Amino acid sequence: MLPSKSRSRRAEIRKNRPDSESWDWQKLKEDGVPASLGIAAAFFVVATCILILRQDVVPYRPGQWLSHDIVSRVSFRYSDPGRLESERRKASAREPRVYASNGDVWSDVESGLLQLPERLTGTAEIPADLKPLLSDGAATKLRSYAAPSARAEYARRVADYVEDLRKHRISAGGQEWPILILDEDQRHEDIRAKRYIRLTGTGTIEASRTFTLKSDEFHNILTAAAQNRFVLALQPAVVDFTLSKLKPTHLLDDAATAEASARASSDVPSSEGEVAFGPNQVLVHKLPAHALSLQECQLLRAENHKYIETLSGSKWKARLGVAGIVFAITAVLSAYLGFYQPRTVKNHPRALAIAALLLAMLLLNQIAAIGNGPLYLFGIAPTLLVAMIITVAYDQRTAIGISSMHGLLATIALNQGAPFFVILWVGVLTVCFLLDDIRTRSKLIEVGGVAALAMAFVAAAVGLLQFDPWDYIQQNCLYAGAAGLTVGFVVLGILPFVEKAFKITTSMTLLELADPSQPLLRRLAVEAPGTYNHSLQVGVIAEAAAEAIGANALLCRVASYYHDVGKINKPDYFVENQAGGESRHLNLTPNVSFLIITGHVKDGVELAKEYNLPSSVMPFIQQHHGTTLVEYFYRQACTQQEGRGDDGNEVKDHHYRYPGPRPRTREIAIVMLADCIESASRALAEPTANRVETLVHELVMKRLLDGQLEECDLTMKDLEQIERTMMKTILGIYHGRIAYPVPATKRLDPAATIADVRSA
Angle at 122 between CA 118 and CA 127, to 5 degrees: 70
Per-residue model confidence (pLDDT) at position 369: 78
Nearest to 56 by CA among 415, 378, 408: 415
Cα–Cα distance, 512 to 42 (Å, whole number): 38
Nearest to 675 by CA among 712, 639, 625: 625
Cα–Cα distance, 105 to 94 (Å, whole number): 29
Phi first, then psi: give them for residue 226, nearest 5 degrees: -70, -40
Rounded average pLDDT over 703-714: 92
Band of pLDDT at residue 24, cut at 50, 70 and 90: low
Structural domain spans, the chain: 25-55+313-504, 91-265, 529-733
Higher-confidence position of 582 and 12? 582
Number of H helices, E strands in the chain: 32, 10
Cβ contacts of 251 within 8 Å, gap of 6 or more: 99, 100, 102, 183
Pairing of strands 76-79, 274-277: antiparallel
Per-residue model confidence (pLDDT) at position 716: 93
Fold held by 529-733: Hypothetical protein af1432 (1.10.3210)
Band of pLDDT at residue 567, cut at 50, 70 and 90: very high
Q: What percent of the chain is predicted at pLDDT more than 90?
A: 33
Per-residue model confidence (pLDDT) at position 744: 56
Higher-confidence position of 602 and 343? 602
Specify the DSSP class assigned to residue 518: S
Higher-confidence position of 539 and 744? 539
Say if residue 3's pLDDT is above 50: no
Most confident option among 18-27, 53-62, 193-202, 617-626: 617-626
Per-residue model confidence (pLDDT) at position 646: 61
The 10s digit of each residue's pLDDT in 296-335 is 777 777 777 777 777 766 667 778 888 999 999 999 999 9
Per-residue model confidence (pLDDT) at position 197: 86
Per-residue model confidence (pLDDT) at position 133: 83
Nearest to 245 by CA among 126, 129, 99: 129
Band of pLDDT at residue 708, cut at 50, 70 and 90: very high
Band of pLDDT at residue 5, cut at 50, 70 and 90: very low
Residue 284, strand partner residues: 70
Rounded average pLDDT over 389-400: 91
Nearest to 657 by CA among 627, 682, 635: 627
Burial of 23 (0-12, 13-18, 19+ CB in 10 A): exposed
Say if residue 182's pLDDT is above 50: yes
Per-residue model confidence (pLDDT) at position 757: 34
Read off the pTM.
0.68
Rounded average pLDDT over 675-703: 89
Cβ contacts of 321 within 8 Å, gap of 6 or more: none
The 10s digit of each residue's pLDDT in 109-122 is 889 888 888 888 87
The 10s digit of each residue's pLDDT in 444-495 is 999 999 999 999 999 999 989 888 888 888 988 999 999 999 999 999 988 8
Phi first, then psi: give them for residue 491, nearest 5 degrees: -65, -35
Per-residue model confidence (pLDDT) at position 683: 82
Cα–Cα distance, 565 to 557 (Å, whole number): 14
Specify the DSSP class assigned to residue 624: S
